[in-house]
């Protein structure tokens, strides 16, 4: 093998390895060794969750296992000096983003903090699980977070009420959330922080807001120290066939922020969603964000209106927020500049064809690969082996790009190809 070919192959393998390892590079902030009395304590929260879950049986709504978990939640709240409210209701709710209605007997647990009157902040998590796993992540992480926050906020002076809702029946079709809408306490709510999970490790993503998003993003940016969020992911989420309790609450037009970890999705809705898999650093990230948001919202009425915003975090350290009009103007300027540069460097049509061809050809290759693997191994194998699945997908992109470059792009210079690729990237961003 000639030296240039060997170097190119080594470079492609190195790029492929870095792309496949990116999920390991995105982590929650490290677990604190010590906590101040006013800080969320992930170790304490996880220990409390271990008591709540007990023998870690699956706990679908309206089962003996779920009754037991609910009893532990009520006991934990009472030990803090709170007086939890238990609502026993038969409720029905529509199945969002699909046809159907779900009905069940649900028992929501509610605890209130702060003053008795005024517009309230709702902190919501569900305590039921799917029939196949203990749900330490989905949504034990939310339950543990709310309990630790209750212990921190119960004696603090708050300007507005805070309602902690531990609802039952989310996995059946958001039945507990639907039941809360009939609760008198729901009439005073004007903002909600919803806690969910699709994984057991990694950073906690803020993946959904109410619309227009200027007000919730303003609260999020001001309150959260280690934000992980971007407007692209929130836009994509709206197109997915997934839903959370937020869908039930949407009719009230509350200011909304939806949080969830998504790392190691292989544990999601499975027997592996247990306490051993739940990363304390992830629990701390969720707790820190939720506590900061709860304090911010409970000590001042949220602003309304303000239009739409573009936003993205930078390495989980800060959140960049731009007005929609400014973002569009910057995109148009960059797009025009890319067109001018690409035209000056020449070979625009061929360069753009390579860039777009890579997108379509890699998609076809990935589909063929999935179809072949699926013929031998049924089920969601891509979820069980996420690293290898990502590796194969990225390999399809590199193979398609290299084949197109060495064929129709052989006469292009690096600068010509670079300008065309940037132009296609900006067109895709639109």
Show which residues are catalytic.
Answer: 170
Cα gap 193→203, rounded to integer Å: 17
The rounded Cα 43 to chain-centroid distance in angstroms is 22
For residues 360 and 403, the answer to whether their CB atoms sit within 8 Å is no
Within 13 A of 46's CA, how many CA atoms are on the CB side?
A: 19
List the alpha helices (DSSP H) in 80-213: 140-153, 175-180
Cα gap 392→372, rounded to integer Å: 13
Q: How many residues does the chain have?
A: 430
> Per DSSP, what are the bridge partners of residue 126?
167
Q: Please tell me whether residue 202 adopts helix, strand or coil conformation.
A: strand
Tokens of 298: 């409970």
Cα gap 354→240, rounded to integer Å: 29
Angle between helices 140-153 and 280-298 (to 10 degrees): 50
**Pick from 69, 45, 71: nearest CA to 56:** 69
Q: Please tell me whether residue 389 adopts helix, strand or coil conformation.
A: helix
Cα gap 222→229, rounded to integer Å: 14
Q: Please tell me whether residue 258 adopts helix, strand or coil conformation.
A: strand
Cα gap 139→66, rounded to integer Å: 13
């Amino acid at each position: 093998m000639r030296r240039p070919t060997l170097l190119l192959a080594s470079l492609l393998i190195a790029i492929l390895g870095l792309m496949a390892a990116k999920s390991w590079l995105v982590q929650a902030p490290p677990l604190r060794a010590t906590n101040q009395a006013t800080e969320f304590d992930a170790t304490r929260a996880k220990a409390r969750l271990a008591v709540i879950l007990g023998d870690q049986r699956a706990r679908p709504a309206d089962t003996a296992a779920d009754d037991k978990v609910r009893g532990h939640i009520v006991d934990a709240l009472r030990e803090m000096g709170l007086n939890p409210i238990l609502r026993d209701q038969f409720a029905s709710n529509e199945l969002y983003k699909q046809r159907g209605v779900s009905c069940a007997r649900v028992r929501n647990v509610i605890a209130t903090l702060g003053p008795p009157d005024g517009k309230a902040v709702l902190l919501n998590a569900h305590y039921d699980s799917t029939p196949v796993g203990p749900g330490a992540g989905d949504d034990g992480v939310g339950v543990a977070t709310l309990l630790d926050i209750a212990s921190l906020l119960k004696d603090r002076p708050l300007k507005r009420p805070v309602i902690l809702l531990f609802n039952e029946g989310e996995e059946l079709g958001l039945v507990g959330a639907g039941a809360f809408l009939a609760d008198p306490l729901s009439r005073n709510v004007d903002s909600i922080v919803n806690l969910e999970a699709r994984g057991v490790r990694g950073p906690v993503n803020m993946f959904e807001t109410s619309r227009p998003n200027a007000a919730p993003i303003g609260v999020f940016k001001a309150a959260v120290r280690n934000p992980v969020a971007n407007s692209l992911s929130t836009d994509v989420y709206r197109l997915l066939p997934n839903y959370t309790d937020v869908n039930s609450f949407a009719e009230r037009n509350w200011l909304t922020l939806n949080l969830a970890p998504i790392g190691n999705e292989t544990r999601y809705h499975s027997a592996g969603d247990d306490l051993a898999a739940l990363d304390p650093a992830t629990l701390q990230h969720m707790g820190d964000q939720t506590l900061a948001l709860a304090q911010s919202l409970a000590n001042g009425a949220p602003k309304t209106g303000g239009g739409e915003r573009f936003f993205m975090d930078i390495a989980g350290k800060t959140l960049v927020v731009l007005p929609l009009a400014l973002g569009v103007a910057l995109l148009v300027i960059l797009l025009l500049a890319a067109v001018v540069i690409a035209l000056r460097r020449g070979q625009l049509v061929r360069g753009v064809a390579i860039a777009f061809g890579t997108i379509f050809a890699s998609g076809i290759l990935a589909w063929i690969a999935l179809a072949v693997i699926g013929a031998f191994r049924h089920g969601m194998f891509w979820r069980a082996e996420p690293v290898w699945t990502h590796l194969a997908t990225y390999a399809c992109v590199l193979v398609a790009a290299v084949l197109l470059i060495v064929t129709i792009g052989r006469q292009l210079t690096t600068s010509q190809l670079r300008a065309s690729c940037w132009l296609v990237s900006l067109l895709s961003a639109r």
